[in-house]
Structure 1
Amino acid sequence: MTWADEIIGRRRTGWHRHITLAMLALALLAVIAATAPGTTAAGAVPIVLTVPEIRRLIAGIVLSPARRVGDILNWSQWRCRHQAQARRSHYQRRSQP
């Protein structure tokens, strides 16, 4: 059974809600990235956002209004930079004889 077979006959409200929130998160992150002061150093490009990371951002921003949006986004940016550094270090270590 394929994904398309599973949704035939079902309401697609959940799918539309997911896509809407994903597009909202992408637009918010694009605006923040465009207006952020400074740039990243060469070779320090963070990894791309994954679906779980987008879910964390949406849950943190929409479902937890007590936390500041800036704090949530700063944490996400730190996490992406940290994962990128870990990936580079891993590849560098594996490439050494």
Structure 2
Amino acid sequence: MEETFQAEKGLAGLDEHQVRRYPSWGRWVTLAMLAPAFLAVVRADEKAHHPGPGGLIPLTCNEIQRLFITLVVQLVQDADHRLSWSLWRRRHQARSRAGHYRWQAAQA
């Protein structure tokens, strides 16, 4: 439970607010708690409707956060580069996972 809370705190930015007044703290906490819920819903929807092409891991909450910030919040000029980088990273992670599982099976 504690590890999950720490991960969500870092992912949603719950630990980045300075409390000065209760209303601002309440708004910040509400947004910070909605962020992981948003990421989880997007991840579940993506996994259900768009099973990834072969050789890719499913989108993670961290990857969705990176893509959301890159494509929606910061509006970078090279969106194609960012998307291809995401595909490369997911493909690399899938290969690493497969190699790790093969290594573990060989050790057993």
Ranked by relative contact order (alpha carbons within 8 Å, sequence separation 6 or more), the top structure is 1
Deviation of 1:13 after TM superposition, in Å, equals: 4.6
1:89 pairs with 2:102: no
- Identity, % of aligned pairs? 29
Closer, same or farther in 2 for the Cα pair 1:13/1:92, shift >3 Å?
closer
Q: Any gaps of 5 or more consecutive residues in structure 1?
A: 4-9
Aligned residues between the structures = 78
Seen in structure 2, the aligned counterparts of structure 1 residues 51 and 67 have a Cα distance that, compared at 3 Å, is same
Over aligned residues, Cα RMSD in angstroms?
3.5
Query: In structure 2, which of residues 73, 77, 90 is the aligned counterpart of residue 63 of structure 1?
Result: 73
Deviations 1:13-56 (A, max 9, x none): 5555x379649xx4xxx6xxx7xxxx945xx2x11111111111
Tell me which protein shows more helix as a share of its residues.
Answer: 2
Distance 1:20 1:67, change over 3 A: farther
TM-score by length of 2: 0.51
Unaligned runs of 5+ in 2: 6-25
Alignment-derived partner of residue 50 in structure 1: 60
